[in-house]
């Protein structure tokens, strides 16, 4: 599903003549199989978000390659990346990243609008997704009128609406209380077991890491493979 080969990344800070190079990732190799839940752990500043941003195409590395679902994505143009993301990747963020001026319904529907799906299909799929995440009665609420757990469910519904095979999550439970965290984690497990969706998640949290099949740790920009935590169901 994901193959990262010899990936290195350095941020360049300051003006061109006086550029400061800050190396962040060193020769990272990572393979995530279809149907796996993989947790990326590591101390603050170790390079976790940088790795996820590279795999998401939000930043581009000069060294190394990334393939997702058989497509070599490293080196794709911005527009090709945007197209690829829409059909292959779903995103879940700690801060939900919902559009505040749009209702729950409109936030969930947005990827379908961007993809140019016709109205009849949009209505059908958005309603079905609202039902799947248990938010039918909240469809007209704006993000500010929903609890943290409900907002995260809207963001998951938006991530799932185009049926991506892979979900990338950055601290998905970071803003949730323990009850909502448990609920979200069992939903992620269900999506993985019932629909075979692959998850790559950054986390600081042991509860989150405990649902992963495998843990990889970044230590000062170097990736260490962890042991298998639980069996992958195929």
Ligand X SMILES: Nc1ncnc2c1ncn2[C@@H]1O[C@H](COP(=O)(O)OP(=O)(O)OP(=O)(O)O)[C@@H](O)[C@H]1O
Residues at the interface with ligand X (CB under 6 A) = 11, 13, 22, 24, 42, 44-50
User: How far apart (Å, rounded) are the C-alpha atoms in residues 186 and 195?
Assistant: 14
Angle ∠(108,113,118) on CA atoms, nearest 5: 115
Question: Residue 184 Cβ, how far from ligand X at the closest point, in Å?
Answer: 19
Q: Which residues of 165-174 are buried (b: 16+ CB within 10 A; e: fewer)?
A: bbbbbbbbbb
Q: How far apart are CA 113 and CA 99, in angstroms?
A: 14
* Nearer of residues 47 and 172 to ligand X, judged by Cβ: 47
Judged by beta carbon, residue 44 or residue 137, the one nearer ligand X is: 44
Closest contact distance (angstroms) between CB of 80 and ligand X is 23
Task: Report, in Å, the least distance between residue 34 CB and ligand X.
Answer: 25
Q: How far is the CB of 38 from ligand X (least distance, A)?
A: 15
d(CA 65, CA 72): 7
Closer residue to ligand X (CB): 162 or 209: 209
Q: Select 42 or 143, whichever has its Cβ closest to ligand X.
A: 42
């Amino acid at each position: 599903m994901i193959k990262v080969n010899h990936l290195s990344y350095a941020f360049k800070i300051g003006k061109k003549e006086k550029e400061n190079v800050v190396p962040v990732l060193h020769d990272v190799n990572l393979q995530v199989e279809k149907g796996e839940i993989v947790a990326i752990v590591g101390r603050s500043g170790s390079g976790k978000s940088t790795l996820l941003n590279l795999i998401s195409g939000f930043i581009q590395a000069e060294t190394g390659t990334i393939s997702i679902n058989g497509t070599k994505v490293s080196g794709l143009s911005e527009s090709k990346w945007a197209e690829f993301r829409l059909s292959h990747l779903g995103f879940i963020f700690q801060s939900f990243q919902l559009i505040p001026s749009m209702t729950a319904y409109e936030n969930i529907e947005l990827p379908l609008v961007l993809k140019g799906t016709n109205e009849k299909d949009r209505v059908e799929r958005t309603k079905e997704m609202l039902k799947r995440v248990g938010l039918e009665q909240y469809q007209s609420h704006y993000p500010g009128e929903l609890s943290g757990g409900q907002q995260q469910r809207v963001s998951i519904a938006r991530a799932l609406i185009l049926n991506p095979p892979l979900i990338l999550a950055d601290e998905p439970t970071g803003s949730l209380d323990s009850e909502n965290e448990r609920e979200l984690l069992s939903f992620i497990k269900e999506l993985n077991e019932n629909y075979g969706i692959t998850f790559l998640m950054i986390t600081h949290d042991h509860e989150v890491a405990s649902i992963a099949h495998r843990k990889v740790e970044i230590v000062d920009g170097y990736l260490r493979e962890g042991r298998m935590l639980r069996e992958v169901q195929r």
